[in-house]
Amino acid sequence: MNPEERDALSESGNIGAGHAATALSDLLGTKIMNGVTSSRLCPLHEAPGAMGEEDEVMCGVIMGLERGLGGAIMMLFPEADAITFYNLLTGRINTTAGGRDFVDAMAEVGNICICSYLNALAEMFDLRVFPTPPGVAIDMVGSLLDGTLANFNATADEVLIIQTRFTEGDHAIRGFFLLFPDAPSLDLILKKLGVRR
């Protein structure tokens, strides 16, 4: 990808994360700001290591993609950042991740972030996108990713990683959007970006 194309891809992340911040502000009743800190198209085998150590515990929210755009999309929050989100959402002071309430809350946060990003992507590239309901797991990042890579990316070899930072007052929350397009969908996005013809 050349710099312009990379910028276009980053811009979809910027817009999506911006929408997500607005929606989260409404949900939490507080002002959430957002910025994209990096975006990259990464070979799939490097994906787990691109976000930290493979055994770092993260909270993953995944939604499958059907029809217009195929594959899956995942939002990953490092454990401490997921806890910060949960505490902001519930007004509690939890120090551990897990439990039914926690999973339900993160499903909602993930759902909002992912759908905001998908809307931005759909508008920008004139695509129709149909996500499935979210699934949540809290585990080692390598474990969270390998099944998704295997299922949705078996025949492609790249994953789009957009790193974002939400801020609320003094709190900074790191999050990663990961888009796993199936092979035809990745081609489609890259064609729309002018990368492939």
Partner 1 sequence: MIGVEVQRLGIGELAIGHNPHVLGCVGLGSCLAIALYHPPRRLGGLAHAMLPRREEFAKTGAANNPAKFVDSAIDALVAALQDLGCPRTQLQAKVVGGAQMFPVLAQRMDIGRRNIEAARERLRALGIPIVAEDTGGSRGRTMYFDLTTGTVEVKYAPGKAGIRI
Does residue 175 bind partner 1 (CB under 8 A)? no
Given the complex with partner 1, which of 39 and 148 has the nearer CB atom? 148
76 vs 67: CA distance, rounded Å? 24
Radius of gyration of the chain (CA): 16
> Hey, which residues between 127 and 166 contact partner 1 (CB under 8 A)?
132-151, 154-155, 157
Q: Compute the least distance from the CB of residue 79 to partner 1, in Å.
A: 9
Q: Compute the least distance from the CB of residue 159 to partner 1, in Å.
A: 12
Given the complex with partner 1, which of 15 and 82 has the nearer CB atom? 82
178 vs 197: CA distance, rounded Å? 24
Contact between 142 and 55 under an 8 Å Cβ cutoff? The reply is yes
Using the contact rule CB under 8 A, the part of the chain among 51-59, 82-90, 114-122, 168-176 near partner 1 is 51-59
Contact between 154 and 128 under an 8 Å Cβ cutoff? The reply is no
Task: Identify residue 179 by its one-letter amino acid code.
Answer: L
33 vs 44: CA distance, rounded Å? 30
CB environment 114-127: b (16+ within 10 A), e (fewer): bbbbbbbbbebbeb
Given the complex with partner 1, which of 18 and 64 has the nearer CB atom? 64
Q: Compute the least distance from the CB of residue 57 to partner 1, in Å.
A: 5
Q: Compute the least distance from the CB of residue 127 to partner 1, in Å.
A: 20
> Hey, which residues between 89 and 118 contact partner 1 (CB under 8 A)?
none
Residues that bind partner 1 (CB under 8 A): 44-45, 48-49, 54-55, 57, 60, 62, 64, 132-151, 154-155, 157
